[in-house]
Structure formats: C-alpha cells, structure tokens
Structure 1
Amino acid sequence: MFPNGIPSAEYCYFCITFSERKMKLHIFNPEHDLALAANIPNFTAPHAARQLRADLDFLPALWADEGDWVLVDDVDAVVRRTRHLRRYMADVEFVTPKCLGEREIDRVDIQPWGHDIALNYQLLQMNPAFADNVLSDFRLGQQRQMSGRPWAAKHLLPALTEFDGTVGKSWIVTSMDGLREIVDGGGDFVLKAPWSSSGRGNRYWLSDREVDTHLLGWCDNIIRKQHALMVEPLYNKVLDFGVEFYASGDGQVNYLGLSMFRTVHGVYRGNLLMAERQKEERLQSYIPARLIQEVCNRIALLMGELLGNTYIGPFGVDMMVVTGAKKGGSTGDFLLHPMVELNLRRTMGHVALSLSAHLNEDEKRVMVIDYADRYRLHVVRG
C-alpha cells in the first residue's frame, strides 16, 4: 500500500516544480484539537505541542503516497532522525516553509492531521497563494462543530447504545446549576470540555471526595469560554481501543481497521502493530465480534449521512470495554462503550494501520512515542 523508499534532503533544496497532477501536501499539526478549542487564526500552541510537531513533522511519510510533499522544518535533520523507519516510509519529497514560500502554489491538495483556522493562517503566512487551496471559513466552522463532543453526544452516542451489550451516557450542561442537577443525584463522573485534546480537557467529580474550589472554577471557566460542559459517568474501564474510518466526501465511509492503543492516565503512549485477525481475537475475549461489526456498520452509515461532503478524510472513534451489569446479568459482565471520543481527523490509530501494512502476517510490533530531550517514534518488538 505504501511504497518503500529513502527520503533525500535534495528535494527541498531544488524545490521541485509541481507536476500536472494535483500535488498532495501533508502536514502534521498535532496541536489541532487545541487550535479548535481556541478557534483563533494566530493561535500559539503550548510548548509541548509545538515540540511534538517539530520532532515528528516527518510522520506523514508513513502514510503518504510516493512523490507527495511533507512539510518539515529541517530536511537534513529529518533524514537523520528517520533512518530507523525507512522500511515504513514512502519516497516523499520533504519541503520547508521557505521552500513553499518560493513556489507558485497551484492545484495543491492540503492534507493535514486536522483542518483548522490556525493552520489556514500559517499556510497563508508561508505563501498567500494558498488562499485558493485552503478550506473556506464556512467549511472549517462546520467541521469544528462536528469535532466537538456535544455533536457526537447528540448525533452518534444514542444510536450506538441501542445495541444489547453496550453502555454510554453523556449530558451537555450549559450552567453550573445544570451540572449540580446531575452530580447531586450521586455517582462518579468525568467532566470534559467540548473541545480539547483527548484526555487533556478532563476532570473528575468523585462522590467520596470534597469538591474543591479549583474544580468548580475549572467547570465555570469551561462553560463561560465554550458555552457548555460534558458530563459522563465514570466507568470501570478494562480496555481502550479505537476503530478507524475514511470519509470519501460522497456519503461513503469505509472501515479501515482496529486500533489497540496504550494510554497512561488518559494520555496516549503507543499502538500495537499486528494483523487485524490478531487484534480481533484480543477484543473478542471481552466483546462478541458480531457486536463490534454491528456498531462499526452503524457508524459508517450514520457518518456517511451526517458528513456528506462536509468532511473528506480519515477519522476515528475511541471506544472502551468496561465492567458493568447487563439486564439479568452480573456486575462482572463486559460491556462496550461505543463512543468515548469522535476524532474528526487523522489519529495515531491510522498511523499504526499504515505501519502494520508493512508487517508479515504473524509479526507483532509496538509503535511507541517517547520523550527524552525530544520526541521520538520507535517500532519495537511486541
């Protein structure tokens, strides 16, 4: 699926001219979720997000097609940092902002990690000619609404929890009184900002702890800034995983595969790389294959109808296996939460699927992103 090749530092320095075909320009902008929350053109991401982008800007070479362009800060540095990944990389052309600024931009298909108004601003700063290639403000606004947690809670979660063996609730509150009305009924809850990075915009309301002023202040601040707050039951989680899709823009959504990932305190740490059959077998230890298939089919159908031509590109749905009580069952039964998060963008699960395509049927690896003075991506034995 993805051609092998060794990237060359020459590409950017010669600034190869665009061919007659529409060039694809890939951009890794992992600060996308934060940019959606800020929703301003001149958004400045936190230092950690900026460093992640700088250190792993080459990442699109793992899923791009041969000849595509990948935006990086320093071509020579990228070539040095990716020697251990050449097995998995396409023969792409690395380009810098300076290179793009010197080109006559025409017929460019911009394919970022995620589209947002801040990325548009960055591209126009590089070269005003990108104005004819970036998404319109109207389209960006539509995609931002669909990327928010309230949209998924309203349009997806109710339909996906109609199946036996599933669980999941989410309330949208717009005031502190609305929040109190839910939490005063008892139980433990996860509080989420409508727009934030997965796991980063969460707080916990625990019934056995005194509610402090910091938590109340955070809730009030989110409601004032984002006009809503998500409230969800805190489940006894057993397993995190995701399902990955691609929306073609004509009402069609294709299922791409499972994503089995590792998280630490809600923060992504890596993905298991293996054949789909092996991932399915792991998941079936908890959840029947039929249920997963039914849920995925419904996601594809619903998202095809809801997205239409508003969004073209990859997206993922984070799910989890929890323990709970089925009707007539025991509290130890495994249940599927079919929509923890909707990520209307590329995900690390898509990256893992691209890497897995290069493995033999029985090979097992782990894609790990770690940090020691800079972020690094490794593919290690599982």
Structure 2
Amino acid sequence: MAKIFVFNPDHEIALASNNCKYNPKRNILRLNDDLSVLPVWFCSGCTIERSSTNSEWSQTASSMGLQYDICDKIDYPALTDIDAWGWNKSLVTSLTERGVNRELLPDDTRLTTIRRLTERRTAVDAMEWLLSSLCEFELPTSPVIITKQAEIDDFTNKYSEVVFKSPLSESGRGVRFASAQTINDNLRGWLRRTIEQQGYIVAEERYSVLQNFAMEFHTTHDSTTFDGYSLFETDGMAYTGNTLMPDNEIEAHISSMIGIELLNAVKSQLIIFIQKNIAPHYNGHLGVDMFVFGQNGNTLLHPCVEINLRPTMGLVANIFYKNFVKAGKRGLFTVDFYRHSDELLADHIRRKADKPLIIENRLITNGYLSLCPIGGQTQYRVRVEVYP
C-alpha cells in the first residue's frame, strides 16, 4: 500500500473550529462512515480505510472496472503518499498521531494559509478582480466586508433583501437572509458573535437565482486548468444534487442565458486570479460557485459566489459522468439523508426494482446506483440515476 485518500466532508467545520482536537458531532461521524468509499469513484487506485463493503456493491464496482483497495486497518507509518478531501489542523494532528510521516502532511504555515484562503474574503477578492478585468460586461456589485455592528443597518437598508455570510462555514451553514423589516435580535446576536469570533461578515444583495452552477479547476504551482462544469441545485442554502450531463451541454445551457463570451471571459480571468493568488499556496481541486439570476427584466451572471478550496460534490459528479456514464446520457447525482436507516434501506430496494441498473461496456446506460454500500445502519447515500 502506497497511497490513501481520507474522506473528511466535515472539513470546513473542522477548519472553522481551528482546533487540533476537533470532535465531530454524531451525525458527522455517520456521514463520514456512510460515504467513506466515495473517493474510489474520483481517485482511481486509491486505498480507503473501512471495515467492509458488501458483495452487491463490490460486484457492481467490479463490473464497471473500478480500481480501488479497501483495508480494515492501514499501516500509517508505511504510507508514502496521502490525500484528503480537505486539510485542517485536526486531520493533520490525527494522522500524525497514527504515525504518518510528517513530511507527507501540510506544515503549520501551509495549514494557516489554506484556512485563510478558504475564507469568503477570497471570493470577495476574486469578485473584485473580475469586476476590474471585465468592465465591458454587466456584473453585480462586489459583496461587502462588514467589521462593525454599526455598518449592518446601513447595508440592510440599501436593498429589499440581503444575505449575511460568516467567513468560514459549510454547505449552507453560516448563511442568513434578512431585510430591514425582518432583522431581529437573534440575527443581530449571531452577527455580533460572528464578527467577534471571526473578524468580519460578508454581506451582499439577495438575488433571484435562475440557475446554480460552478466551474471546477485544478491547481499546481505551475498551472491552473479548467476541469469542467457542475450544474447543481440547492434547497435555498445547502447543496442537494447535480444534473449529470456533458460539459458541452452544460456550457450551451448557461450560454443560452448569459452568452458564451461572458462565460469564457470569466473562466479565463478566474484562471489568472487562481494562478496568481491561490496556486502558490494550494495544489489540488477547487470549485467556484456561480449563478444566473434575474433582475429588472435582465438575465445576469454572478461569477463568484463562493470558492471551495477542496474537491466538491459537483466535481465528483463531473468525473463520475465522464468515466462511468455512456456519453450523451443524462441523469441525477444527489446526496440523500434519512433520519431512519430502515427507510433508506427500503428506498434502496425499491429503486433497484423500479430502476434496474444497466451497464454496457462498463458504462451506465440506465438505472439507479448507490455509490456507497447500503447497510442496516446507513443514513446517508450518494444516489445516481441515469435516465433512459
């Protein structure tokens, strides 16, 4: 065994805690366990630490040519390479205590820089870069950094609705909507505590979103490359799922609303920004969330809502489509949560019967698949459905 991939989807929560001994809540532990084998679908040949899978999942993975290794116990001192969903103090401390060579892990300086770059201030900086570089296009104003309580009412009174965001949060956490009429003592208390604890909040106008999407990139010290698109949905704040379709069709869909010239210009300028400001300090996957919105009868683009300094579910969906779905097909990629595990198991059995998986030449042409094994205690699932 030479390389493992650590799946830690609670990365941003651990990052916000900035604690070497962050203790995840029970639901996070459940999420980590239920989805622990997800990396095998986007990190070919990696090793995952897990006690077992099940024969049904293993047979399906084999029929699709999946290359992976699952071990119930890893010899951490023997590792020569290690990757993770996201790097933070808690993960590095845990791996060091298990005997991983410290030279394989980010040092304290790099961890501090990753945390700084993960803050929403980086997205604000990128937005200001785009505004100064793309003057010929109509773009929304840049979000505002608020560091004082007194600035909150002044900003709220400018717009019919606003969004407040904490510097560090995960998948909808740390986001609050408000207006001059609805802001209350509870929200003011949250804003005050966030400013006291994290130094600032980000504020911007709330827009009428027509389509969420993201551009996925990969960085090295020498280059930044565009990996593809993510066409996704939210429940208003948190991610719910992706549409599975080819990049060229996603591009055509977005371009039909805002024009290909703007889309390409944003992509080019983001590559320059990332290479200049992020790549010197971070190598790996990152995603830039965007959305198309309607305003005063016009269809416009918000080109930098958030920057995720890690792989994203949208990236996983993109890679999965390219590697395991027949070209031209469409489908759904989503993350499900069930409060009761028996309900998830029943749904899994029903979907297998109603939408049987069809694989031709190791590619899905139709049907339902859970990307991770479903057992008696499973509450989280990454579900794929490919349409006929």
Same fold, judged at TM 0.5 (above): yes
Residues 5, 47 of structure 2: 8 Å contact kept: yes
Does structure 1 residue 334 correspond to structure 2 residue 299?
A: yes
In structure 1, the partner of 2:13 is 34
Give yes or no for the alignment of 1:254 onto 2:225.
yes
Q: Which residue matches 1:188?
A: 161
Shift in Å, 1:300: 0.7
* 1:34–1:247 distance in 2 versus 1, CA, 3 Å: same
CA contact (8 A) 1:143 1:310 kept: yes
Tell me how far apart the structure 2 counterparts of residues 87 and 350 of structure 1 sit (CA, whole Å). Answer: 23
1:360 and 1:26 mapped to 2: Cα distance? 27
Q: How many residues align?
A: 344
Shift of 1:159: 1.7
Offset from partner CA, 1:222-276 (integer Å, 9 cap, x none) = 11111111111111111111110000222x1000111001211221111111111
Q: Tell me the TM-score normalised to structure 1 length.
A: 0.85
**SS state of the match for residue 284, structure 1?**
helix
Note if contact 1:62-1:88 (Cα within 8 Å) is conserved in structure 2: no
Aligned to 1:13: none
Cα distance change of structure 1 residues 185 and 364 upon mapping to structure 2, 3 Å threshold? closer
- Indicate the residue corresponding to 2:380 in structure 1: 375
Counterpart of 2:190 (choices 209, 218, 228) is 218
- Structure 2 residue 253 is the aligned partner of structure 1 residue 287: no
What is the root-mean-square deviation of aligned Cα atoms in Å?
A: 1.9
Hey, what's the Cα distance between the residues in 1 that align with 2:238 and 2:100? 38
Report the secondary structure of 1:169's partner residue: coil
Asked if structure 2 preserves the Cα contact closer than 8 Å seen for 1:198 and 1:341, the reply is no
Query: 1:48 offset after TM fit, Å?
Result: 2.6
CA contact (8 A) 1:33 1:196 kept: yes
SS of 2:221's equivalent in the other structure is: coil
TM-score, reference length from structure 2: 0.84
Alignment of 1:316-331 (within 5 A): 316-324=287-295, 331=296
Q: Which runs of 5+ in 2 are unaligned?
A: 342-378
* Residue of structure 2 in register with 1:7 after alignment: none
Q: SS of 2:257's equivalent?
A: coil
- In structure 2, the partner of 1:118 is 90
- Match among 166, 173, 182 for residue 139 of structure 2: 166
Question: Which structure 1 residue ranges, 5 or more long, are not aligned?
Answer: 1-17, 325-330
Q: Describe the shift of the 1:294–1:361 C-alpha distance in structure 2 as closer, same or farther (beyond 3 A).
A: same
Equivalent position SS for 1:152: helix
- TM superposition shift of 1:193: 0.4
> Out of 39, 43, 46, which is 2:25 matched to?
46
SS of the equivalent of 1:283 reads helix
CA–CA distance in 2 between the matches of 1:370 and 1:142?
A: 33
Residues 1:260 and 1:103: Cα distance change in structure 2 (over 3 Å): closer
Q: Aligned partners of 2:283, 2:63: CA distance in 1, in Å?
A: 28
Residue 366 of structure 1: how far off its partner (Å): 0.9
**Residues 21 and 93 in structure 2, CA contact (< 8 A), matched pair in contact too:** yes
Deviations 1:203-226 (A, max 9, x none): 1121333x2211111111111111
For residues 144-172 of structure 1, give each alpha carbon's deviation from its aligned partner in whole angstroms, at most 9, with x where no partner exists: 10110012212x01122343132242111
Following superposition, the deviation at residue 82 of structure 1 comes to 5.8
Partner of 2:110: 139
Identity of aligned residues (%): 26
Q: How far apart, in 1, do the equivalents of 2:289 and 2:20 lie?
A: 28
Aligned twin of 1:344? 309
2:53 corresponds to 1:77: yes
Instruction: Call closer, same or farther: CA 1:89–1:123 in 2, change over 3 Å.
Output: farther
